[in-house]
Amino acid sequence: MFLTYENPVYEYTKSPDQNSLAPAHHPLVIVGAGPIGMGAALDAHLQGIPAVVLDDNNTVSVGSRAVCYSKRALEILNRLGCARRMVEKGVTWKVGKVFFQDELVTSFDLLPEEGHEIPAFINLQQYYLEEYMVDGLKDSDNVEIRWKNKVVDVENHSAAGAQDGTDHQDKPITLTIETPDGPYQITTDWLIVADGANSSVRNMLDLAMRGKVFEDRFLIADIVMKAEFPPERWFSFDPSYHPNQSTLLHRQSDNVWRLDFQLGWDKDPEEEKKPENIIPRVKAMMGEDVDFELEWASVYTFMCRRMDRFRQGRVIFAGDAAHQVSPFGARGANSGLQDTDNLLWKLKLVMEGKAPDALIDSYCDEREYAADENLLNSTRSTDFITPKSKVSKLFRDSTLELSKEYHFAQKLVNSGRLSDAAFLTESVLNTADRDNFAGNMVPGAVMDDAPIEGDQQERWALNVFGNRFQLLYFIDNASTLDEQTAKQLSSLEQGDIPVQAVVVATSGTAPQNLKTVIDIKGMLATRYDAQNGTCYLARPDQHVAARWRSFELPNVQKAVKTATCN
């Protein structure tokens, strides 16, 4: 017998709010304790925002569900304190292979260069991530998780355009919650909705998802077996064991393997999930003699859709509750974690009165842009994987055939473009370049990592960058930084929105107790096209906000105002 995962059961505890005569008030409530809701909760903990998490269950996800976590998502999870355990437990990979009629036609390497702490991808069952996230909040003094607390009604007084014409913007949101001890109510200033693709809160507020539902079905089968396949992503078009369809093979931890089988629109989902129908498919793919156990199965339909707007007043949607994409490409949980990464620092500034409400609108603008990018890539992948006409199938099969010999055709093969970071180059929070730069670190880009030596024993740049606004100042020898510039850099901490100066050097220590990191291999300067005096303004979510070839205090102060809608 194979060992399988046993879901932890978290204790339901009656809250003092349930005995309150009037609804208790909380500054922030998060609905949903999946990866996105818990990502928001962990970030709230780091930002010092008091929050309550409500979930209608009392355990982690059943079945592996989201299994592929991208470099960018892992960088966010590293900031939240989860990535180290994930990488240790998960299966690290970066190579993908595509097969056509059992023959290898192309392969790709998702991270060919050195000098990054975080791998390109890991595969890890979603239940492990959720367990690690719960563990991360066990000792929190500002975030509370309430299990078996089901939201059954939402009164969103904060939504603009109330029917009676009265301005309700400052009125709290009221939630009615069902528990084993009966219902109760609480109020909140801000509500983050992360209760998944079938969001009950979205339905309660009668908000629509618009987009496309593809007429095809896929079977997920998680099996436990011992096999010698390398930790790679194998996608097969028209294999001999599953003709005229496609399959996907992925390895997870604990000898669990994710198998995906394209079924076609005419298949009955309930029938296909039965073990007696799954087992023959697995044996056809893996071999008649393979020793395995079926751990979990599900049938899904491709959907590419999103809400028109990710906020309604002070109710904010994130993850699958706001947008859905097809699973191939691992864009669901990965993009949802980028949602909360984008949101929480903005919410903190608005709640503290340091930024206007327009900063929350920038969350919508940036993450709706990213969702559209994901939807476009996901739709293109789906069209290639499941062609809907003889002509499109002929194009696909010809492309795959040509890929055996020709590089140009390999670029056209689309077995699911893998999730990547969204570059927010059109954001209103950016300050446009006035100087010439080379490379990818444009305003709006996600910051690149590189090995460093920090004064607190840090070994990677992205362990230093993030959680607050920072100004990176590049110089060869930090000890030669002139006193006037050092004082001006130090003064940034005293602004309405504090900015930490980080001196990036090849040697020395900066004066005025300025944070100093040593670019030990020169990779940071190369990736940021930095010279002596080059400066980068970094957002708390590790996106570039502005950059200059020389430091001028008024320019930085203005860019901070731009980046916070002030």
Domains (range + CATH), the chain: 16-89+123-209+307-374 (3.50.50.60), 453-563 (3.40.30.120)
pLDDT band at 227 (very low <50, low <70, confident <90, very high): confident
The per-residue pLDDT for 539 is: 98
Q: What is the mean pLDDT of residues 420-442?
A: 94
Residue 12: pLDDT over 90: yes
Contact predicate 159/312, CB 8 Å = yes
Query: Greatest CA separation found in the chain?
Result: 76
The per-residue pLDDT for 63 is: 74
Query: In angstroms, what CA-CA distances link 366 with 167, 339, 356, 444, 445?
Result: 27, 9, 17, 10, 12
pLDDT band at 290 (very low <50, low <70, confident <90, very high): confident
Residue 555: pLDDT over 90: yes
Share of the chain above pLDDT 90, in %: 76
pLDDT tens digits, residue range 432-449?
A: 999 999 999 999 999 999
Q: What is the DSSP string of 467-481?
A: SSEEEEEE-SBGGG-
Strand partners, 201: none
3-state DSSP assignment of residue 230: coil
pTM to 2 decimal places:
0.94
3-state DSSP assignment of residue 18: helix
The per-residue pLDDT for 162 is: 42
pLDDT tens digits, residue range 54-100?
A: 999 999 988 767 888 999 999 999 999 999 999 999 999 999 999 99
Q: What is the mean pLDDT of residues 471-482?
A: 97
Q: How far apart are CA 196 and CA 151, in angstroms?
A: 13
pLDDT tens digits, residue range 153-195?
A: 999 988 754 444 444 467 899 999 999 999 999 999 999 999 9
Q: How far apart are CA 314 and CA 160, in angstroms?
A: 10
Q: How far apart are CA 415 and CA 237, in angstroms?
A: 9
Query: In angstroms, what CA-CA distances link 142 with 64, 129, 247?
Result: 30, 21, 45
* Of the candidate ranges 136-150, 152-166, 479-493, the one whose mean pLDDT is the lowest: 152-166
Kindly provide the residue ranges of all beta strands, DSSP E only, lying in 226-291, ordered along the sequence.
Answer: 233-237, 246-251, 256-262
The per-residue pLDDT for 159 is: 78
Average pLDDT of the chain is 92
- Residue 457, classified by CB atoms within 10 Å of its CB into exposed (0-12), middle (13-18) or buried (19+), is exposed
3-state DSSP assignment of residue 88: helix
Q: How far apart are CA 86 and CA 256, in angstroms?
A: 15
Q: What is the mean pLDDT of residues 286-306?
A: 87
Kindly provide the residue ranges of all beta strands, DSSP E only, lying in 95-183, ordered along the sequence.
Answer: 95-100, 103-109, 121-123, 143-146, 150-155, 173-178
The per-residue pLDDT for 328 is: 64
Contacts 24+ apart (CB under 8 A), 105-108: 105/400, 105/401, 105/403, 105/404, 105/410, 105/413, 106/403, 106/410, 106/413
Residue 106: pLDDT over 80: yes
pLDDT tens digits, residue range 521-539?
A: 999 999 999 999 999 999 9
Q: How far apart are CA 249 and CA 236, in angstroms?
A: 9
